[in-house]
Structure 1
């Protein structure tokens, strides 16, 4: 799940111009070389932490993201800012700081990422099936996107690319085949330049026709990031909405993923750092998702009292849950994040990514 912004027509036009210049710049295509997998980053002691960032306008919670990693807690890990958004026609929009966006592409932001992380994977994002289809279903669009993505990370000296294409459950078998073709082409291009490919994948506990972890990794993907959150959208109507990431469900998701991707260096598990609200009698259509902690603390019934927080802590997820005014509220605090991380380390997971930085909490140090 991602918090997508709506760009103004002027911003979109400006970004398209920048994207076009980038695609046709002196960066060009990388010098051809035999296709091979880029070497994996050296394993960090314990768990390698990663964090997603997304663009926003001044004053929005996500713009606190830079300050949240400035303490170098990701010095040995990875930062993944969204730099590109796929447009409805399948072209890539480069989101830039010149448009007044925080966390977007600029030389200064790239330098800041490098100063505070070992690895950098700027994200290309597409949130609905028609948009995904417009890109991956066209050989021309695929080629253009591969060239743009490779050119920027090579020119900027970044580690690689993170691909976040969602709405998986609405994909046809043809969509999934075209998606794999795109990933194969992108992996080949990135590996030839000594770069890497990370791909974001849905949380699954059983086989499904719309997505297959092993088939995706087989395209040349270096890391598969399983987004192990948003179980609330699978809640039964009329009851109480599920937690974002229940412990038992997290164990199922990880167990299934490890069965499909046995190489632990290729597997990243995403954990949530945000909240949501929903009707007290659960109606998933009424869910307000991805609420930053900085916003959640202003919701009705919020309490910062340690005693109240512990009374509200859900034993099955560690999350803080309460109802007020006919709505359920749920958020993941540091204790809940720490406990979810303990579940993962107990299962042998060595790479953990957090959605998301910017107005949210982090693990206890």
Structure 2
């Protein structure tokens, strides 16, 4: 019996250290695994608005296709494939008659492939609009042409960009709305959408315009784009393309006029310009063009617009970089806007630092 007890004690004396070593090893192994386990990746910071981008036909915007294919996420692409001529009929812009970024089956296919939504933009001036909206036959012809085109390319819809707003007569404005009623009605009946472009007008300037954003609350219009840029034409060379204060004021006023904020699209600039300081002769530039000018490396940021500016030999230069775009977008998003549109792709900078939201 004593011999058995002695054997048992010996076994225990040997087993206890072994068990202790095993427990210690397991604990250390767990700690080691924990310490080397990858930490979860925080979700990316995301923009709050969906982004659209215009594609301008012809030089100097010929790099647009490379840009929308480079991995950036653009919810909506808007190539200008039609122009309203002075007789009030539509002319299709093709690679044969208008150069890069215009319509061809391959170009349209690539636009659709690299975006969630697509709108064919139709540009027009006052003479063409007047000829169109005063003729029911021409309205029917234009509506039929655009509906047939959408059936062919399977885009989301049409964007109407008729400008010269300050010179529209009451009759032209009435005719324009009648045209939209017919176009929008036909598009909606066939599962398509209608977007229109309007002026960036502050309350104290509205008396010069027939245009009233509230008029479109009852028309078959899905999106209203407020083009918040080109103010250098109003105030002359040496001033910003889009001052932040004016962008903010115009956006707030439009929000008060459009019942559904989701229909509002704010247009922001990615382009620049140059012209003799203080003059009214202005040349539009892409960022790629701006960086070729003497004095480019001396540019400083303008706090009133977040745009980059410099002067060389009496000529003023303005351009937008990624920080410019980020600042303008953040301002607009802070006002509750859900959609923005950038003028334009092809040689200009893009947003940085945040991911795009899912469509």
TM-score tier, shorter chain, comes to 0.7 to 0.9
Deviation at 1:115?
Answer: 1.1
Unaligned runs of 5+ in 1: 1-43
Residue 332 of structure 2 is aligned to residue 344 of structure 1:
yes
Deviation at 1:155?
Answer: 2.2
What TM-score does the superposition give when structure 2 sets the normalisation length? 0.81
For 1:266 and 1:72, locate their aligned partners in 2 and report how far apart those are by CA, in whole Å: 27
SS at match of 1:104: coil
| Cα deviation digits, residues 248-305 of structure 1 (max 9, x gap) | 111001001101113121000011011111221x232x122x31111111223221xx
For 2:163 and 2:114, locate their aligned partners in 1 and report how far apart those are by CA, in whole Å: 28
Structure 2 partner of 1:313? 301
Structure 1 partner of 2:35? none
Instruction: Give the conservation status (yes or no) of the 8 Å contact 1:50–1:74.
Output: no
Structure 2 partner of 1:210? 210
Deviation at 1:130?
Answer: 1.3
For 1:261 and 1:175, locate their aligned partners in 2 and report how far apart those are by CA, in whole Å: 22
Structure 2 partner of 1:3? none
Structure 2 partner of 1:52? 54
Residue 164 of structure 2 is aligned to residue 167 of structure 1:
yes
For 1:232 and 1:95, locate their aligned partners in 2 and report how far apart those are by CA, in whole Å: 28
Structure 2 partner of 1:21? none
Instruction: Give the conservation status (yes or no) of the 8 Å contact 2:57–2:98.
Output: no
Unaligned runs of 5+ in 2: 1-45, 354-359
SS at match of 2:266: strand
User: Which contiguous aligned blocks of 4+ residues in structure 1 show a shift greater than 6 angstroms?
Assistant: none
For 1:143 and 1:241, locate their aligned partners in 2 and report how far apart those are by CA, in whole Å: 45
Residue 114 of structure 2 is aligned to residue 116 of structure 1:
yes
For 1:218 and 1:330, locate their aligned partners in 2 and report how far apart those are by CA, in whole Å: 39
Equivalent residues in 2 for 1:144-155, closer than 5 Å: 144-155=141-152
For 1:228 and 1:45, locate their aligned partners in 2 and report how far apart those are by CA, in whole Å: 19
Residue 334 of structure 2 is aligned to residue 332 of structure 1:
no
Structure 1 partner of 2:181? 184
- Which one has a larger percent helix, Structure 1 or Structure 2? 2
Query: RMSD of aligned C-alpha atoms?
Result: 1.7
| Cα deviation digits, residues 48-86 of structure 1 (max 9, x gap) | 100000221xxx3311001111134335x1000000011
Deviation at 1:46?
Answer: 2.3
Structure 2 partner of 1:86? 84
What TM-score does the superposition give when structure 1 sets the normalisation length? 0.80
Equivalent residues in 2 for 1:61-80, closer than 5 Å: 61-75=60-74, 77-80=75-78
The match for 1:359 among 344, 347, 350 is 347
SS at match of 1:353: strand
Instruction: Give the conservation status (yes or no) of the 8 Å contact 2:273–2:282.
Output: yes
